A and B are shown apart, each in its own frame.
Chain A
């Protein structure tokens, strides 16, 4: 018996399922944070979540709005300084999975969160790199979750903020002491193991994916259908989002 769900819920549940107990996951804010906490609250209670603000092994009850909300610190095993986080825990090799979102992604899974257009005269200025450039190379592998659209899935990103496999697909070749890079990209339409699509979400067609992608996307010979979200996954996700929305809306504005 199938339950109704949105494409965003499909994406989040699928992304959550990519995480398992025992992984140490460096979590980006937004979609990755939502999926990582869903994993922790369902099938992977022992997944270790780490945020760049220094919060190590954190178990937030509500999703943080920022990377350094008090909830992250208060529910963490311990909180370390930001240099320690990047140097010892990330660069030191303790992170199995970096979990990132992005504004643009290209056929070699390079990520752009810097700008649209030319660097000196941007059409749209985006926030920039943050932790991502080093998460992507120092974590043993990288998961990416992002909504599928032609604006986002471009043949070549305007700016490589964070390397996937480089402009020629070979940027990681022969570079010592770095991770494997992006292994899975999970969208609201499908799963890619860059770049072939390996699984289509229920009721999604190849044409929809082709239409939403800015390059000639390939499909794996063995193309699966992604399993639907389960009732418990949806219930936990909806509760988590409701708690989060109620919390962030209720914080009083203080500047009056």
Chain B
């Protein structure tokens, strides 16, 4: 049953060094507040999984949280490169980063298989691509019924899933609206889950077929208003496209990145929870 915690407490209690962590939200509802809390608590050696690493993983990789990254599209959408990700891959700064890359279709299927409790996902994918040559987690199998050659990838079963959503009710049921991405799948695929929300309300106001994740399928809920900025939360605020462009300059240079991190992450400890310092 979901326990309502401060963000600081949720991260401290449920994410440990070395964990496999999947923080999802397909361009929409990216859990930045939680990412920043992970940076502040100086979590290390994480295996980070995300279809689109986006700025959130660029920041966490640059801050030294990650040992390995599993992803399918590693750019700054509409802008260009993720410079911290590239610096880690190309130059090993601030530490070496192992990467494992997929296509979107394969990762979406792998999350779905994880949620379904299966060991693998099967898709008509990777035909003629070089990706299977550089990712030993991509195999091909023969359909036992038709004989068709199909791609197989292992399901994604993270230690911890982290997502952001619009609302939770007081019992801890969560409503996700708009581009729902793979949020439900990642929560169900993971051993533990942290859901940050814009607000906790009396009534979710959900329609009968809405994407609602029940309280009993979630580990922890933390209120984090504007917790998806500079991405967006449909019905609450828009995507800050100007910041996505600005990030290109901030992240291009190690010093300007570290200055930004200091001013915008480490100096903001008290925003969602009282400071208790790094672990």
- Using a CB–CB cutoff of 8 Å, the interface residues on chain A facing chain B are 29-30, 52-55, 64-70, 72-74, 79-83, 85-87, 90-91, 110, 114, 119, 122, 125-134, 137-138, 159-163, 166, 171-172, 175-178, 247-255
Contacts and interface: CB of A to CB of B under 8 A. Distances in A.
Contacts of A29: 77-78
Interface of B: 26-28, 51-52, 71-75, 77-79, 81-82, 85-86, 89-90, 101-106, 108-109, 111-112, 123-131, 134, 148, 178-182, 184-185, 211, 226, 229-230, 232, 234, 237-246, 264
A66 B237 CA distance: 16
Nearest to B77: A66
Given A66-B244, A83-B185, A137 B73 contact: no
A250 to B, nearest CB: 8
Contacts of B240: 251-255
Contacts of B71: 128
B72 A130 contact: yes
B242 A253 contact: yes
A60 to B, nearest CB: 13
The 10 closest A-B pairs by CB, nearest first: A68-B27, A163-B128, A127-B75, A66-B77, A130-B73, A65-B78, A134-B105, A171-B128, A86-B105, A133-B103
A53 B181 contact: yes
Contact of A82 (B101, B104, B130, B131): B104
Given A30-B78, A81-B181, A129-B73, A66 B230 contact: no
Nearest to B104: A131
B103 A248 contact: no
Given A66-B241, A83-B108, A127-B82, 10 more contacts: A66-B244, A72-B179, A80-B180, A114-B130, A119-B134, A127-B75, A128-B75, A129-B101, A253-B243, A255-B230
Contacts of B184: 81
Given A86-B108, A129-B103, A130-B104, A175 B127 contact: yes
Contacts of B81: 125-127
Nearest to A76: B179
28 contacts: A66-B239, A68-B28, A69-B27, A70-B238, A70-B239, A72-B179, A73-B178, A74-B234, A79-B179, A82-B181, A83-B182, A85-B108, A86-B104, A87-B109, A114-B131, A125-B74, A126-B75, A130-B103, A130-B104, A134-B124, A162-B129, A172-B128, A250-B242, A251-B241, A253-B230, A253-B240, A253-B242, A254-B243
B40 to A, nearest CB: 15
Nearest to A250: B242
B241 A73 contact: no
Contact of A248 (B85, B123, B232, B242): B242
A30 B76 CA distance: 12
Nearest to B86: A125
Contacts of A132: 103
Nearest to A249: B242
Contacts of B241: 65-66, 69, 247-248, 251
B27 A53 contact: yes
A30 B106 CA distance: 23
Contacts of B185: 81, 83
Contacts of A64: 78
A73 B177 CA distance: 10
B125 to A, nearest CB: 5
Contacts of A161: 129-131
Contacts of A91: 105, 123-124
A75 to B, nearest CB: 12
Contacts of A251: 238-243
Among the interface residues B27, B211, B238, which one has the most CB atoms of the partner chain A within 10 A?
A: B27
A52 B108 CA distance: 11
A130 B50 CA distance: 12
Contacts of A163: 127-129
Contacts of A69: 27, 239, 241
Given A66-B239, A251-B241, A254-B243, A73 B179 contact: yes
Given A66-B244, A127-B73, A79 B180 contact: yes
